[in-house]
Chains A and B, each alone.
Chain A
Amino acid sequence: ALSEEMKYDEKTGRLLNGNLLDYKMPTTMDTPELHALFVETDDSSAPFGNKSLGEPPAIPVAPAIRNALLQATGVAVNTLPMNPQKLVEAFTKEGLI
């Protein structure tokens, strides 16, 4: 939500950041402390009532941060990543800075 992005050359379509230096995956220095809590429910559409766990934690993060940002600043950023470069552009456009 905050850092990873594939950047392309607009004229040639070439990928600009096709390496792990320029593709900004968070490092251990960037990741906040994470706590996982389980909410046990019965999913009647799956065998034994089980539920997949890969996607659900990944999906709500970006909209949650986007909404927090909107509430804090009044600026809606509707593309990812919401990195400082993009926020400076958005805040400048809205006259905040």
Chain B
Amino acid sequence: MYDIEGIYKAQSVADAIAALGQDPAAVVIAGGTDVLIKIREGKLAGCRLVSIHDLAELKGIALAANGDLEIGPLSTFRDVTYDPIIRKLLPVLGEATDMAGGPQLRAAGTIGGNVSNGITSADSASTLVALDAVLRVQGPAGLREVPIADWYKGVGKVDMAHDELLIKIIIPKSHYEGWTGHYIKYAQRNAMDIATLGVSCAVKLSPDKKTAEEVHLAFGVAGPVPMRAKNAESAVKGLPITEAIAKIGAAALGDVNPRTSWRASKEFRIQLVGELSGRALAEAAKKGGAAL
């Protein structure tokens, strides 16, 4: 059923990096929810796999001493959704990962795989982009950190070399403290689907909860890679929250560049951007205590 030439089960991150360095054609497998499908479709038939599935050092979600949230990339979608730290400090991320696929996929697929694939429709991606997450990557030369704004290089391409591994997804304290967020996955049905458009909005309200001091708006499937809507963000910065909600959709149209595919037309996706941006902001503001 699965046409693979071989699989090497890595013993550690360093071991996996060495194995990838020795085999330029090897494919990393973690949760396997994308790789196995590609193998079965024949796209990766006959491949050699390096499995990082059992590396305990890449699992777990923890709060660092400085307050940064550190997510092990092997955390499954379900791990993220039900993690007590995420639920308390960053519920929007757990809500986003809870919308991927169905229950079986969420128990196997990992947030690290979702980000490393470089796919614009990834359910965790737009929220991580809205949060300005930082990605820690390890390679033969050591560690480096990449802001998610510089991570996506094109469809399926990210700023990570063949012999590098994503080892941590970091949400700095200042990026979540005082912010509330909301993710809307617009798909053609309510389960087992790919987003037609993903909208994630984070807002920092004024102390009286009436003004949007700062807004972060990010989209999936509004362009070839997950993207921020910087024009829309600056257009509504500092506005009373009701005015910000009314204006953000139209402003976001200047930021996006969706394409027509056989799944949905450009015009339809633009309609969704205009409509859903305000809804996401309204929900994010409500979670932050705004009376709407």
Contact = CB atoms under 8 A, between A and B. Distances in A.
Interface of A: 3, 7, 9, 16-17, 20-22, 24, 26-30, 83-85, 88-89, 92, 97
B11 interface: no
A70 B51 CA distance: 55
Contact of A21 (B194, B262, B265): B194
Contact of A22 (B102, B191, B263): B263
A19 to B, nearest CB: 9
B12 interface: no
A27 B188 contact: no
A22 B102 CA distance: 15
B267 A3 contact: no
Nearest to A16: B262
Contact of A30 (B102, B191, B194): B191
Interface string B258-292: 00001111011001000000000000000000000
B192 interface: yes
Contacts of B194: 21
From DSSP, what is the main secondary structure of chain B's interface residues? loop
Contacts, number: 42
15 contacts: A3-B188, A3-B189, A16-B262, A22-B263, A24-B193, A27-B189, A27-B191, A27-B192, A29-B191, A84-B188, A85-B264, A88-B265, A88-B267, A88-B268, A89-B268
Contacts of A21: 192-194
Which bucket holds chain B's interface residue count? 10 to 19
Nearest to A92: B267
Interface of B: 102, 188-194, 262-265, 267-268, 271
A88 B189 contact: no
A7 to B, nearest CB: 6
B191 A28 contact: yes
Nearest to B271: A88
Contacts of B189: 3, 24, 26-27, 29-30
A27 B110 CA distance: 23
Nearest to B101: A21
A30 B190 contact: yes
Contacts of B264: 85
Nearest to B275: A97
B146 to A, nearest CB: 31
Contacts of A92: 267
Shortest 3 CB-CB contacts between residues of A and residues of B? A29-B190, A29-B191, A27-B191
A94 to B, nearest CB: 14
A85 B263 CA distance: 9
A85 B62 CA distance: 42
Nearest to A91: B271
Contacts of A26: 189
B191 A85 contact: no
Given A7-B262, A16-B262, A89 B191 contact: no
A89 B190 CA distance: 22
A30 to B, nearest CB: 5
B267 A83 contact: no
A23 B97 CA distance: 23
A87 B268 CA distance: 9
A84 B275 CA distance: 13
Given A7-B262, A16-B262, A22-B263, A85 B268 contact: yes
Contacts of B263: 22
Nearest to A87: B268
B106 to A, nearest CB: 14
A34 B169 CA distance: 44
A10 to B, nearest CB: 10
